[in-house]
Chain A
Amino acid sequence: MSGNNEEASAIVEVRKLVKVFRDFWRRPKVRAVDGIDLEIRRGEIFGLLGPNGSGKSTTIKILLGLLNATSGDVLVFGRKPHDVETKARIGYLPEESYLYNYLTPYETLDFYGRLFDISSSDRADRIGQLLEMTGLKHAATRPVGEFSKGMARRVGLAQALINDPELVILDEPTSGLDPVGCRQVKDLMLALAKRGKTIILSSHLLADVEDVCDRVAILYNGSIRAQGSVNQLLEKRESVRLTMPSLPPDTMKKVLAIVKEKIGKEPDIDHPSMNLEQFFLEVVEKAHRSTSEQSGAAPTEAMAGYLTKE
């Protein structure tokens, strides 16, 4: 009964959240979050959308207890954000990959793994899988300070998943990643959600959000301007799109004539095309198969086993 209740209940509840940043003399400087209400349920991918400075990252940091709310209520897993135990169930990828420059990816993941109650054998196993998944196995002994932004991002993503979290908070996860990495992150989010994990995705890359999110909230100037399921928000109920194999010219003419008669004007017709992301992924995949040397992050389709285990 309690399990069912937990499943139905919200993982994150935010009521009338306000955050005012103050200057050295405690005078109000910026009202970064202005009366936000949110409810994020188990197993959904929730998108926080908004332009730069709209309050997305501030909201996330309040959820993690890194910033103190000026007013309002915040509950994560039914507890206050500062609660240390709650954080064992959360994985967080910050906006910038905040890493210790002198550590290697292996040392970084080992360090973060040691902050959780994970046995050393499990830790080593998970680190191996995560390095494989993020394509950094060949760079595991290089200091992360030498990495490109995209490679550092991959280490950041790996550290966020080391504890197999129930709630994953990803702040601009695809920033700095190549299209292969972006696709991989999106696939990972979908795979995690399939396993019942809850994901909060903050981004201003609309295509990323549209691809994976169940629900979104659009923030502007610290407050929510629109909230709902992606389909609900984007659907144009007054128009319809049909996709079918190419028809013989005569049949096509007949179909168009019927449609024109019904709607009173010429319908828009075009040929569906592959999008640039799909095309790019195909080209890179072919190139990867034909070369063996790799200096940057290696493209990989492997998903860390412990993340996909039912």
Chain B
Amino acid sequence: MRMDSSQEKELLDGARRLDSRALAAIYDCFNRGIYSYSLRLLGEPDLAEECVAETFSRFLHALHKGRGPQKYLQAYLYRIAHNWITDSFRNQSRLSTVLDENLADEARPSLPQSLDTKLEQARMRAALRQLSGEQRQVIALRFLEGWEYEDVAAVLNKSLGAIRALQHRAIANLRKMLAEDEIEEK
């Protein structure tokens, strides 16, 4: 969800004063998008809920300390969410991934359609997890959230060229990883 710059500035000014109306408007505007973004990458609704709560809490404490964004509010919130997701990937044990893979092998003979989709989702998430943080962020924002290059560049504080290069490398890496997985399965 996009908002124009004057509206964003007005909301940020109110948020710095910890005005409840401005904060409520910001929450209403962005909470669903951040939830979907985190759920796509994490795959678990509980973790996505936790990510949303932590993102807005960190945003609030940054405002309270007199920091926080001067502009690009959306980019700022997605950056917090992405950092939280990256930390979550680091903290999660490798056991869950191994269990998922074993489950996939055992369930393969007679797959209903929905389970097949879930397996494909798990495979894509596992591949995304192996990308670097910036590459994963570019792929998620560009292809899962449908953002433009300019918006992604604002989140990562990089030039458009750098974002294109990151995207190119990320897709190449994903292809390579998925191809290797398919060879192993065969």
> Do the two chains belong together in a single complex?
no
A interface residues (Cβ-Cβ under 8 A, vs B)? none
